[in-house]
């Protein structure tokens, strides 16, 4: 190691080292062409670390800063510079042909396409300012995602500083897909299993789970990779052709995937699809189809965007991967909601790089329909991010088969009575079936819910089995002595867990709602409810129609919400929870909208919004939607063929606005 004593000398050396390390990162992670050994690389990094430390030269873009320092409480929101659109998909050749025909018809001539792999990962936006990586976020709803800058910094394939082979725009936004290569995925799952943790179902979930870690050190330990495929926005403009996006991305040192092709017509697109489908098993990461995009950006603009997906691009997925294996046994698992699910325990089989040893059989009628029994040879499929599934039985000539499978009449976990509800068998022992209590508690403690760190699955299981925890509220009554009787708990770890449980009481309404485990209420729906109603009390009181006025809430969810709050047992647990001192911030702090308390009346048909959506917008901003016009009405929104309400508004001198003005007022796109 060089000997350095002066600051100027140190600065120079630090610059040299950073440049070298960046070059090697690029060679290794982006080009797959390393020039030095890992050991030599580590030595460079170590020298840089020491110098930065000694001379106070640390800066956020330094390669030494890849690992985030402290865990975050919750991700900040990040508004995207341009919408991260989603894609429509076609299922077969005919669908792709129609897509190609439609573009030609719309444009009045043919146009070329770029075909590229569809990565099975999660979409992110990367923002570079003055060539430096300054922030990055998940897709979220396409407009606003989660700020995962620190986590992204830990991905080696992501350059923190752009290369300058061509001029770098002052402000640049790039879309990329974060993926977990198959080898790393299988290794991670082995480790998780060894540590008694739940493995990830597929590389996509593993990538998402790893990137969305509050503690960036965990992300840093996960084998993530990424591919850039789109310039979303660049100061000074974007290239005229999509194919040139790639040339630029590469010139800036950003990682792209080499399989892509400019295709003048359907013929070439189909060839590309076929070739990729045949070669995908050789790829070290999961590709689940191809994406076809119109090459010319001018044509893209002419074709435009539907609500969320563009008319100029489409995904054409591959057939799900299938392999043959044998059903060794059929187990029955009991979920959080008491549903009994038959699960085929398989002779482990490699399906496109992922080892499958269990596959769902959904329910009894599925088992009957497919007529699968223990000992049968079957075909299993794994499609994108769904749970592996037993597709069909492969009859073998002369085989002797076992008896048909029967659902147990008693819950395999608690011995409680099993009843049939529709297609499902359900354990009726809601209150005390350990499987249901365990499931509910695990969910309650999980990261997006109450986020109780250190309360692992194993601990929950033992707590429930010992009878210390009979419902989620019991968590808050746990005592140190009880924890100390559990394996693996010592003085300090018990204190830590109790502290984490205590701290979880300060939460947000969204988290709390999600934690309750109401069927259909995932994080997103929980947020929608929290934002629209502002308090648990209002949600509890809201009837089905009120709930359904929100775009995200259909009849099933609204029924589940109402059922949940009318159920006597749930009410008791809720009261118990509130007695433990659970608190949440009063609604989501919102900037004042200026529409608080304003009343709106709609008349006539709106063109781009349903009545329900328009009302939900108003309510979400603190206003009210009324059904008749009075002198107290603030705005009447008149659409197509307005009725007598418009006349009444004119008589009373109430402000009348059109749809465009209304959308401007409420900030709708």
Long-range contacts of 89-93 (CB under 8 A, 24+ apart): 89/289, 89/314, 89/315, 89/316, 89/317, 90/314, 90/315, 90/316, 91/317, 93/270
Closer to ligand IVH at the Cβ: 47 or 295? Answer: 295
Q: Which residue is nearest to ligand IVH (CB)?
A: 123
CB of 119 to ligand IVH, least distance (A): 4
Residues contacting 32, CB < 8 A, separation 6+:
none
Buried/exposed code over 636-666 (b: 16+ C-beta within 10 A; e: otherwise): bbbbeebeebbebbeeeebebeebeebbebb
Closer to ligand IVH at the Cβ: 114 or 494? Answer: 114
Using CB under 6 A, pick the residue from 36, 192, 262, 315 that binds ligand IVH: 315
Residues contacting 101, CB < 8 A, separation 6+:
none
- What is the rounded distance in angstroms from the CA atom of residue 411 to the CA atom of residue 479? 31
Instruction: Centre a 10 Å sphere on the Cβ of residue 96 and count the other Cβ atoms it contains.
Output: 21
CB of 87 to ligand IVH, least distance (A): 4
Residues contacting 129, CB < 8 A, separation 6+:
170, 171, 172
For position 177 contacting ligand IVH by CB under 6 A, the verdict is yes
- What is the rounded distance in angstroms from the CA atom of residue 99 to the CA atom of residue 90? 8
Structure tokens at 168: 């770098």
Which residue among the candidates 118, 317, 438, 442 is catalytic per the annotation?
Answer: 118
Closer to ligand IVH at the Cβ: 27 or 315? Answer: 315
Task: Find residue 256's DSSP bridge partners.
Answer: none
CB of 291 to ligand IVH, least distance (A): 4
Q: Helices 434-445 & 457-465, crossing angle to 10 degrees? A: 140
Stretch that binds ligand IVH, among 33-41, 217-225, 307-315, 398-406 (CB under 6 A): 307-315
Closer to ligand IVH at the Cβ: 112 or 626? Answer: 112
CB of 446 to ligand IVH, least distance (A): 24
Closer to ligand IVH at the Cβ: 286 or 659? Answer: 286
Using CB under 6 A, pick the residue from 128, 133, 229, 252 that binds ligand IVH: 229
Closer to ligand IVH at the Cβ: 310 or 623? Answer: 310
For position 313 contacting ligand IVH by CB under 6 A, the verdict is yes
Closer to ligand IVH at the Cβ: 57 or 84? Answer: 84
How far CA 625 is from CA of 192, 406, 537, 600, in Å, comes to 51, 53, 20, 5
For position 233 contacting ligand IVH by CB under 6 A, the verdict is no
Which ranges in 154-234 belong to alpha helices (H)? 182-194, 203-211, 216-220
Residues contacting 424, CB < 8 A, separation 6+:
339, 340, 363
| Residue 541 annotated as catalytic | no
- What is the rounded distance in angstroms from the CA atom of residue 522 to the CA atom of residue 72? 22
- What is the rounded distance in angstroms from the CA atom of residue 316 to the CA atom of residue 287? 11
Q: Which helix (H) or strand (E) holds 493?
A: helix 491-503
Helix (H, G, I), strand (E, B) or coil at 175: strand
| CA-closest candidate to residue 486, choices 511, 463, 517 | 463
- What is the rounded distance in angstroms from the CA atom of residue 293 to the CA atom of residue 305? 13
Interacting residues with ligand IVH between 527 and 556 (CB under 6 A) = none
Closer to ligand IVH at the Cβ: 162 or 292? Answer: 292
Interacting residues with ligand IVH between 115 and 174 (CB under 6 A) = 116, 118-119, 123, 139
End-to-end CA distance of the chain: give it in Å, rounded: 58
CB of 230 to ligand IVH, least distance (A): 6
Closer to ligand IVH at the Cβ: 316 or 444? Answer: 316
CB of 83 to ligand IVH, least distance (A): 9
CB of 174 to ligand IVH, least distance (A): 12
- What is the rounded distance in angstroms from the CA atom of residue 354 to the CA atom of residue 360? 16
For position 294 contacting ligand IVH by CB under 6 A, the verdict is no
Stretch that binds ligand IVH, among 114-122, 401-409, 449-457, 535-543 (CB under 6 A): 114-122
CB of 608 to ligand IVH, least distance (A): 20
Is 52:14 a contact under the CB 8 Å cutoff? yes
- 599-603 β-sheet, strand order: 624-626, 599-603, 635-638, 655-657
CB of 526 to ligand IVH, least distance (A): 22
Is 153:133 a contact under the CB 8 Å cutoff? yes
Is 67:220 a contact under the CB 8 Å cutoff? yes
For position 310 contacting ligand IVH by CB under 6 A, the verdict is yes
Site string for ligand IVH, 49-88 (x = CB under 6 A): ------------------------------------xxx-
Helix (H, G, I), strand (E, B) or coil at 106: helix
Closer to ligand IVH at the Cβ: 43 or 523? Answer: 523
CB of 138 to ligand IVH, least distance (A): 10
CB of 397 to ligand IVH, least distance (A): 43
Q: Which helix (H) or strand (E) holds 347?
A: strand 339-351
Closer to ligand IVH at the Cβ: 119 or 444? Answer: 119
| CA-closest candidate to residue 290, choices 111, 101, 115 | 115
How many residues of this chain bind ligand IVH (CB under 6 A)?
A: 14
Owner of token pair 């996006």: 245
Owner of token pair 């985030």: 68
Q: Which helix (H) or strand (E) holds 250?
A: helix 242-251
Which ranges in 286-383 belong to alpha helices (H)? 297-303, 364-370
Interacting residues with ligand IVH between 402 and 431 (CB under 6 A) = none
Stretch that binds ligand IVH, among 53-61, 111-119, 443-451, 641-649 (CB under 6 A): 111-119
For position 208 contacting ligand IVH by CB under 6 A, the verdict is no
Q: Helices 555-566 & 568-579, crossing angle to 10 degrees? A: 70
Using CB under 6 A, pick the residue from 96, 157, 269, 291 that binds ligand IVH: 291
Stretch that binds ligand IVH, among 30-38, 112-120, 162-170, 355-363 (CB under 6 A): 112-120
CB of 78 to ligand IVH, least distance (A): 16
Closer to ligand IVH at the Cβ: 269 or 313? Answer: 313
Binding site for ligand IVH (CB under 6 A): 85-87, 116, 118-119, 123, 139, 177, 229, 291, 310, 313, 315
Which residues does the annotation mark as catalytic?
118
């Amino acid at each position: 190691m060089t000997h350095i004593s002066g600051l100027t000398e140190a600065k120079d050396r630090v610059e040299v080292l950073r440049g070298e390390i960046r070059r090697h990162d690029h060679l290794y992670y982006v080009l797959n062409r390393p020039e030095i050994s890992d050991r030599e690389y580590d030595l460079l990094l170590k020298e840089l670390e020491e110098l930065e430390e000694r001379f106070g030269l640390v800066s956020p873009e330094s390669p030494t800063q890849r690992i985030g320092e402290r865990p975050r409480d919750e991700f900040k929101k990040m508004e995207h510079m341009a919408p991260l659109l989603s894609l429509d998909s076609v299922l077969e050749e005919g669908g792709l042909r129609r897509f190609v025909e439609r573009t030609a018809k719309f444009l009045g001539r043919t146009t070329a396409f770029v075909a590229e792999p569809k990565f099975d990962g999660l979409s992110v936006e990367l923002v570079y300012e003055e060539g430096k990586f300054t922030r990055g976020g998940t897709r979220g709803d396409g407009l606003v995602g989660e700020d995962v800058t620190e986590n992204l910094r830990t991905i080696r394939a992501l350059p923190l500083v752009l290369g300058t082979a061509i001029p770098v725009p002052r402000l640049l936004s790039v879309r990329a897909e974060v993926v977990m290569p198959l080898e790393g995925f299988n290794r991670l799952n082995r480790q998780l299993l060894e540590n008694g943790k739940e493995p990830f179902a597929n590389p996509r979930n593993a990538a998402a789970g790893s990137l969305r870690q509050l503690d960036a050190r965990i992300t840093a330990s996960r084998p993530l990779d990424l591919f850039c495929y789109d310039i979303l926005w660049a100061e000074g403009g974007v290239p005229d052709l999509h194919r040139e996006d790639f040339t630029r991305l590469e010139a800036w040192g950003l990682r792209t995937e080499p399989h892509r092709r400019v295709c003048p017509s359907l013929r070439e697109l189909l060839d590309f699809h076929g070739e990729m489908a045949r070669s995908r098993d050789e790829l070290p990461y999961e590709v689940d189809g191809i994406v076809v995009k119109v090459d010319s950006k001018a044509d893209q603009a002419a074709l435009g965007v539907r609500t969320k997906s563009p008319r100029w691009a489409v995904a054409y997925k591959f057939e799900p991967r299938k392999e043959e294996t044998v059903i060794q046994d059929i187990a029955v698992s009991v979920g959080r909601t008491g549903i009994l699910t038959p699960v085929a325990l398989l002779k482990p089989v490699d399906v496109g790089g992922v080892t499958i040893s269990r596959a769902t059989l959904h329910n009894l009628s599925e088992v009957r329909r497919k007529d699968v029994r223990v000992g049968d040879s079957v075909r299993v499929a794994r499609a994108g991010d769904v749970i592996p599934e037993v597709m069909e039985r492969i009859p073998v000539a002369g085989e002797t088969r076992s008896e048909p499978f029967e659902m147990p009449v008693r819950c395999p976990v608690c011995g409680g009575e099993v009843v049939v509800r529709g297609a499902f068998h359900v354990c009726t022992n809601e209150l005390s079936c350990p499987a249901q209590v365990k499931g509910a508690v695990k969910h309650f403690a999980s990261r997006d819910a109450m986020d109780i760190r250190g309360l692992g699955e194993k601990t929950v299981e033992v707590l429930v089995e010992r009878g210390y925890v009979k419902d989620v509220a019991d968590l808050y009554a746990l005592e140190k002595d009880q924890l100390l009787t559990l394996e693996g708990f010592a003085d300090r770890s018990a204190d830590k867990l109790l502290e984490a449980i205590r701290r979880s009481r300060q939460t947000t309404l969204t988290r709390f709602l999600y934690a309750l485990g109401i069927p259909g209420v995932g994080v997103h729906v929980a947020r929608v409810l929290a934002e629209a109603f502002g308090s648990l009390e209002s949600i509890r009181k809201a009837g089905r129609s009120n709930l359904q006025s929100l775009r995200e809430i259909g009849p099933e969810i609204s029924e589940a919400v109402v059922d949940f709050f009318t159920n006597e047992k749930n009410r008791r647990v809720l009261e118990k929870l509130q007695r433990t001192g659970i608190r949440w911030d009063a609604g989501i702090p919102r900037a004042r909208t200026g529409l608080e308390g304003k009343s709106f009346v709609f008349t006539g048909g709106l063109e781009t919004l349903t009545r329900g959506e328009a009302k939900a917008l108003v309510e979400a901003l603190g206003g009210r939607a009324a059904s008749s016009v009075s002198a107290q009405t603030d705005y009447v929104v008149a659409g197509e063929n307005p009725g007598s309400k418009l006349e009444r508004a004119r008589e009373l001198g109430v402000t009348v606005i059109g749809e465009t003005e209304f959308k401007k007022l409420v900030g709708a796109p």
